Amino acid sequence: MNYNAISALFTVLLSVLIRLQVSGQVHTEAVTDSGAIFPKGKRAPTSTFTGVVWVQQLIEPDSAFNIPVGYVTFEPGARSYWHSHAGGQVLLALDGIGYYQEQGKPIQILKKGDAVKCPPNVPHWHGASPTVGFRQVAITPNTATGRVTWMKPVTDQEYNNVRK
């Protein structure tokens, strides 16, 4: 094998290596994107959410299905206002890092695979961590008793009061 042949092989190997590295980057993004199972939907109203939040309604309530189901994407730092549900709510954590707090209790960290029951009429809020976004499914049962009662915003002090 002469010098030119080795040099040519070297060049080919180098280009394959670069291609693999690029495709490796694409892979990493795909892993991140794979959390977005449902369409991101529309921007949530700034009158009840702080920061950038997206809501896609998956199931609209009707006479047979009294359970609205929504898919909510919180960008880092975003969160709901304090609120309560007369019929309670179920949260399924799909991706990212979420915060969930019931009034009078410490903030609870939510991760992919967590399922939470927000009890009826208990004021609470949920959102993303400051650095990592959060994706959840929210199921609201017993809508006959009322769907949601909105309260005041979650202050920065409340939001940052995470037990380390």
Residue 24 CB, shortest distance to its own copies, in Å, is: 6
How do the residues of the chain divide into helix, strand and coil, expressed in percent and rounded to 5? 25, 35, 45
**Residue 144 is a binding residue for its own copies (CB under 8 A):** no
**Per-residue x/- mask for its own copies, residues 59 to 88, rule CB under 8 A?**
x----xxxx-x------------------x
Nearer to its own copies (CB atom), residue 97 or residue 154: 97
Distance CA 79, CA 74 (A): 7
Q: Which residue, 122 or 151, is less far from its own copies as judged by CB?
A: 122
* Beta carbons within 10 angstroms of residue 146's beta carbon: 14
158 CB burial (10 A radius; 0-12, 13-18, 19+): middle
Residue 29 lies near its own copies (rule: CB under 8 A): no
Cβ neighbours, 10 Å, residue 131: 8
Q: Site for its own copies (CB under 8 A): which residue of 53, 128, 137, 154?
A: 137
Site residue total, its own copies (CB under 8 A): 44
Residue 13 burial by Cβ neighbours in a 10 Å radius (0-12, 13-18, 19+)? exposed
CA dist 2 to 7, 8, 9, 22, Å?
Answer: 9, 10, 11, 31
| Choice from 76, 77, 81, 92 touching its own copies (CB under 8 A) | 92
Which of these ranges, 36-44, 47-55, 75-83, 102-110, lies near its own copies under the rule CB under 8 A?
A: 36-44
Contact positions vs its own copies (CB under 8 A) = 3, 6-7, 9-10, 13-14, 16-17, 20-21, 23-24, 27-28, 30-31, 34-35, 37-39, 58-59, 64-67, 69, 88, 90, 92, 94-95, 112-113, 115, 117, 119-120, 137, 139, 141-142
